[in-house]
């Protein structure tokens, strides 16, 4: 099926083909007769060998041979010699078949099956493998078989590691060998085996090794992914850490049931307009964890019992693992000034997906001030539509000369333990940076620029927040801009990476007297993707309009969002709004002038919760009145996305999908909606 040249069929070819076909047909028919009648004579079994030699993919013949072998092994007169002869025969048939097609699943599996009967030696099998790997060093069947043999015959990881080294020295362009090497090293790191205990010794050697591959031919991909893995091993600490939280440590939270302050001098990062009598505590970890509950995270405050707090993971479907965890603290409605202390990880139980414990207990404390409502909220006029053109929006890019508060530091938790941040990590990164700068001075290559960008980002991430700036941001941004020109095929990939770096650069300077809601403008930045959420947990009103966002992946971390504009972006489907389902405070949403309805292929179809992915939980209570009116088959995306929203105001004009019929469906799905596209609803 692969790699055969296209030829116009000639009459003599067709005749030959027809003859061959008839011969094969006859063989098949005869074979079936033996198989269905359970005939296992020598002649019958020999026929199946003939069939498999012509067509090793005829899977039923392999099944037949297994039945024949079992038949022989169960004969009363079988002895070790006759068994050996029978099994030898099978191995011979497999070798013949593999010669015909060395990628035949059936043949390789048959060999494994024969070996499970306790025959053949490790030397035999390795010799066979050598033959096949010389013929094609990327044959993954052979590599899989090699792993199978190594394991069942207990060959040491170190010996296998040496084999990968030999293969790589024979030819650097051997991704399969590099892959195998990463599997073996990984296992050795995990085992903390003798001599492999220290990543700091092994990784520098591996970097030397991989340089030979990458620098010899920078366009050959074989080494790229291995290098990325080495980088990950260098910077990643095993234990999960708390990256950020809201409220931040040392902050003051003002809760008002109203829209206006009374001019108190509170930091903008801590005031929340709450009409629900509670506020969220958000914990943002550096990797997904499970086991966050009222035992592993204790919240001490005068007005709430710790045991009553329910910590929920912000995850898709029913997963109990997430990077972001939220609990809601109920607040009494009377005047209140109180301190809250949150202890994270003093009891064991918070564990990363790879099984590492949260090992550095942290504590954060903040003050809560409750200001009782001045007006009866039910009298607030619903005609007031919130406009996002408020003067007290913080605008990206406008930074005052003096930064009074380095505000993000309030949120980013300083994890003191890694301060002597293992010097070997910094040394390894610094050396790599030097090597790749050198490479780029000789060859203007894509992998050079991309790797350098990654190295600089990693270096900055490791240094922050001890260093107060991301030193290399400008250089990284420029590298990505270069890559967008150099490798146009992958333009969007570099653009997405660049968007995240741009956001991480964002620092805010703040004056201490702020009124009104906490808003951030991030428009007209050509953002194709969102990121840096750990820095944005405080945002209540977000203006992302006039960008190029086709995804808002990760936005669910911004638990305080009440007002969001995605106007004039490139959202392609309703399912792309899935992250917003977790924003319980969201009341105003503008998704006007996007591309919803333009595209027949939905790229977020499986990242949204729906029956298609079996991720609609038992809490789904299909409102009968809604679905009887709403033809689900035509509107399932709208139903599953919007049914849990609690919006007051929605703008959807300028999307192909937003015709009158669709808008009336929306109104049925969201009965609490008060305003749609500027029109008041009754």
Partner 1 sequence: MAELAVDKHFKYILSVEKNKDSFESVVMDHLRMNGAYWGLTALDLLGKLDSVNVDEVISWILKCQRESGGFSGNIGYDPHILYTLSAVQVLALFNKLDVLDIDKVATYITGLQNEDGSFSGDMWGEVDTRFSYIAICCLSILCCLDKINVEKAVSYILSCKNLDGGFGCTPGGESHAGQIFCCVGALALTGSLHYVDKDLLGWWLCERQVKSGGLNGRPEKLPDVCYSWWVLSSLIMIDRVHWIDKEKLVKFILDCQDVENGGISDRPDDAVDVYHTYFGVAGLSLLNYPGLKAIDPAYALPVDVVNRIFFSG
Closer residue to partner 1 (CB): 159 or 308:
159
Q: How far is the CB of 573 from partner 1 (least distance, A)?
A: 10
Does the protein bind partner 1 through residue 656 (CB under 8 A)?
no
Q: Write the binding mask 475 to 504 for partner 1: x where contact by CB under 8 A, - elsewhere.
A: -------------xxxxxx--x--------
User: Which of residues 180, 270, 298, 545 is near partner 1 by CB under 8 A?
Assistant: 180
Piece of 57-65, 467-475, 560-568, 663-671 that binds partner 1 (CB under 8 A): 57-65
Closer residue to partner 1 (CB): 178 or 506:
178
- Sign of the alpha-carbon dihedral angle for 115, 116, 122, 126: positive
User: Which of residues 15, 25, 466, 512 is near partner 1 by CB under 8 A?
Assistant: 25
Q: How far is the CB of 353 from partner 1 (least distance, A)?
A: 8
Please report where in the chains the tokens 């301190």 appear, as a residue: 339
Closer residue to partner 1 (CB): 75 or 612:
612
Q: Write the binding mask 340 to 359 for partner 1: x where contact by CB under 8 A, - elsewhere.
A: -------------x------
Closer residue to partner 1 (CB): 393 or 494:
494
Task: Kindly give, in sequence order, each residue whose CB lies less than 8 Å from that of residue 478, ignoring residues fewer than 6 positions away.
Answer: none
Q: How far is the CB of 291 from partner 1 (least distance, A)?
A: 17
Does the protein bind partner 1 through residue 379 (CB under 8 A)?
no
Where does 217-315 have alpha helices with state H?
224-235
Report the site for partner 1 in 520-579 (rule: CB under 8 A).
550-551, 553
Q: How far is the CB of 649 from partner 1 (least distance, A)?
A: 27
Contact 302, 340 (CB under 8 A): no
> What is the rounded CA–CA span in Å between residue 505 and residue 397?
10
Q: How far is the CB of 639 from partner 1 (least distance, A)?
A: 9
Q: How far is the CB of 579 from partner 1 (least distance, A)?
A: 12
**How many CA within 13 A on the CB side of residue 315?**
18
> What is the rounded CA–CA span in Å between residue 572 and residue 602?
7
- Sign of the alpha-carbon dihedral angle for 167, 173, 176, 180: positive
Does the protein bind partner 1 through residue 473 (CB under 8 A)?
no
Q: How far is the CB of 228 from partner 1 (least distance, A)?
A: 7
161 alpha carbon, distance to own chain's centre = 29
Closer residue to partner 1 (CB): 405 or 607:
607
User: Which of residues 276, 317, 392, 625 is near partner 1 by CB under 8 A?
Assistant: 317
- What tokens appear for 125 in the block? 């099998």
Does the protein bind partner 1 through residue 183 (CB under 8 A)?
yes
Does the protein bind partner 1 through residue 222 (CB under 8 A)?
yes
Does the protein bind partner 1 through residue 1 (CB under 8 A)?
yes
**Alpha-carbon separation of residue 267 from 515, 585, 659 (angstroms):** 10, 21, 43
512 alpha carbon, distance to own chain's centre = 38
Task: Kindly give, in sequence order, each residue whose CB lies less than 8 Å from that of residue 122, ignoring residues fewer than 6 positions away.
Answer: 149, 153, 155
Report the site for partner 1 in 585-604 (rule: CB under 8 A).
599-601, 603-604
Contact 473, 461 (CB under 8 A): no
Does the protein bind partner 1 through residue 633 (CB under 8 A)?
yes
**Phi, psi of 143, rounded to the nearest 5 degrees:** -65, -40
Piece of 18-26, 197-205, 425-433, 669-677 that binds partner 1 (CB under 8 A): 18-26
Report the site for partner 1 in 30-49 (rule: CB under 8 A).
32, 36
> What is the rounded CA–CA span in Å between residue 620 and residue 308?
24
Q: How far is the CB of 268 from partner 1 (least distance, A)?
A: 32
Please report where in the chains the tokens 């309030």 appear, as a residue: 410
Q: How far is the CB of 384 from partner 1 (least distance, A)?
A: 36
Q: Is 365 helix (H, G, I), strand (E, B) or coil?
A: strand
Does the protein bind partner 1 through residue 224 (CB under 8 A)?
yes
In Å, the largest CA–CA distance within the chain is 99
> What is the rounded CA–CA span in Å between residue 371 and residue 368?
10
* Strand duo 242-246 + 649-651: pairing: unpaired
Report the site for partner 1 in 117-176 (rule: CB under 8 A).
138, 140, 143-144, 147, 173, 175-176
- What tokens appear for 528 in the block? 């194709």
User: Which of residues 99, 119, 211, 605 is near partner 1 by CB under 8 A?
Assistant: 605
> What is the rounded CA–CA span in Å between residue 443 and residue 645?
53
DSSP conformational letter for 538: T
**Alpha-carbon separation of residue 580 from 284, 564, 576, 588 (angstroms):** 17, 10, 9, 11
Does the protein bind partner 1 through residue 265 (CB under 8 A)?
no
* Strand duo 336-344 + 563-565: pairing: unpaired
Closer residue to partner 1 (CB): 362 or 610:
610
Please report where in the chains the tokens 């010799």 appear, as a residue: 127
Closer residue to partner 1 (CB): 55 or 270:
55
User: Which of residues 93, 115, 271, 316 is near partner 1 by CB under 8 A?
Assistant: 316
Contact 235, 213 (CB under 8 A): no
Closer residue to partner 1 (CB): 77 or 624:
624
How many residues belong to the site for partner 1 (CB under 8 A)? 87
Report the site for partner 1 in 270-309 (rule: CB under 8 A).
288
Does the protein bind partner 1 through residue 252 (CB under 8 A)?
no
Q: How far is the CB of 29 from partner 1 (least distance, A)?
A: 9
């Amino acid at each position: 099926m692969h790699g055969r040249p296209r030829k116009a069929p000639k009459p003599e070819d067709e005749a030959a083909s027809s003859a061959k076909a008839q011969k094969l047909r006859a063989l098949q028919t005869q074979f079936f007769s033996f198989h269905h009648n359970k005939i296992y004579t020598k002649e019958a079994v020999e026929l199946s060998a003939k069939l498999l030699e012509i067509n090793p993919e005829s899977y039923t013949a392999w099944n037949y041979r297994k039945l024949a072998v079992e038949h022989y092994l169960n004969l009363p007169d079988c002895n070790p010699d006759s068994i050996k002869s029978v099994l030898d025969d099978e191995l011979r048939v497999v070798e013949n078949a593999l010669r015909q097609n060395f990628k035949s699943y059936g043949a390789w599996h048959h060999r494994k099956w024969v070996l499970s009967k306790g025959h053949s030696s490790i030397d035999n099998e390795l010799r066979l493998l050598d033959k096949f790997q010389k013929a094609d060093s990327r044959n993954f069947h052979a590599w899989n078989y090699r792993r199978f043999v190594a394991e069942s015959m207990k060959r040491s990881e170190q010996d296998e590691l040496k084999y990968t080294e030999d293969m790589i020295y024979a030819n650097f362009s051997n991704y399969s060998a590099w892959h195998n090497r990463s599997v073996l090293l990984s296992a050795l790191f995990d085992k903390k085996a003798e001599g492999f205990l220290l990543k700091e010794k092994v990784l520098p050697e591996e970097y030397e090794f991989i340089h030979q591959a990458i620098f010899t031919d920078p366009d050959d991909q074989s080494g790229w992914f291995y290098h990325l893995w080495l980088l990950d091993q260098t910077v990643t600490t095993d234990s999960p850490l708390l990256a950020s939280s809201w409220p931040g440590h040392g902050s003051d939270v003002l809760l008002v049931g109203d829209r206006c302050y009374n001019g108190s001098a509170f930091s903008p990062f801590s005031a929340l307009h709450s009409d629900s009598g509670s506020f969220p505590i958000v914990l943002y970890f550096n990797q997904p964890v499970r086991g966050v509950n009222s035992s592993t995270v204790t919240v001490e405050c005068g007005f709430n019992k710790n045991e009553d707090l329910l910590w929920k993971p912000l995850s898709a479907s029913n997963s109990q693992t997430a990077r972001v965890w939220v609990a809601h603290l109920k607040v009494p409605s009377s005047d209140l000034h109180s301190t809250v202390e949150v202890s994270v990880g003093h009891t064991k139980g918070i564990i990363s997906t790879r099984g590492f414990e949260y090992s550095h207990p942290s504590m954060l404390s903040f003050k809560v001030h409750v200001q009782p409502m001045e007006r009866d909220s039910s009298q607030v006029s619903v005609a007031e539509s919130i406009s996002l053109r408020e003067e007290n929006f913080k605008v990206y890019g406008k930074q005052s000369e003096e930064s009074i508060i380095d505000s993000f530091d309030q949120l980013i938790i300083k994890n003191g333990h890694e301060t002597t941040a293992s010097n070997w990590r910094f040394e390894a990164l610094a050396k790599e940076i030097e090597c790749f700068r050198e490479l780029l001075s000789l060859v203007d290559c894509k992998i050079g620029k991309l790797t350098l960008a990654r190295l600089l980002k990693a270096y900055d991430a490791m240094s922050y927040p001890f260093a107060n700036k991301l030193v290399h941001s400008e250089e990284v941004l420029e590298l990505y801009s270069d890559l967008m020109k150099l490798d146009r095929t992958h333009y969007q990939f570099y653009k997405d990476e660049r968007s995240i770096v741009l956001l991480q650069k964002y620092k805010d300077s703040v004056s201490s007297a702020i009124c009104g809601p906490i808003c951030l403008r991030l428009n007209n930045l050509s953002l194709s993707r969102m990121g840096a959420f750990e820095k944005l947990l405080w945002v209540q009103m977000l203006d992302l309009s006039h960008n190029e966002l086709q995804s808002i992946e990760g936005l669910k971390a911004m638990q305080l969002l009440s007002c969001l504009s995605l106007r004039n972006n490139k959202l392609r489907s309703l399912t792309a709004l899935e992250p917003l389902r977790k924003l319980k405070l969201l009341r105003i949403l503008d998704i006007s002038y996007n591309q919803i309805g333009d595209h027949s292929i939905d790229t977020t179809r499986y990242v949204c919760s729906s029956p298609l992915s079996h991720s609609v939980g038992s809490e789904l209570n299909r409102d009968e009145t809604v679905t009887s009116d709403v033809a689900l088959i035509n509107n399932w995306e709208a139903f599953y996305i919007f049914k849990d929203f609690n919006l007051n105001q929605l703008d959807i004009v300028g999307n192909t999908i937003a015709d009158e019929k669709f808008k009336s469906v929306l109104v049925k799905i969201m009965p609490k909606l008060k305003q749609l596209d500027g029109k008041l609803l009754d």
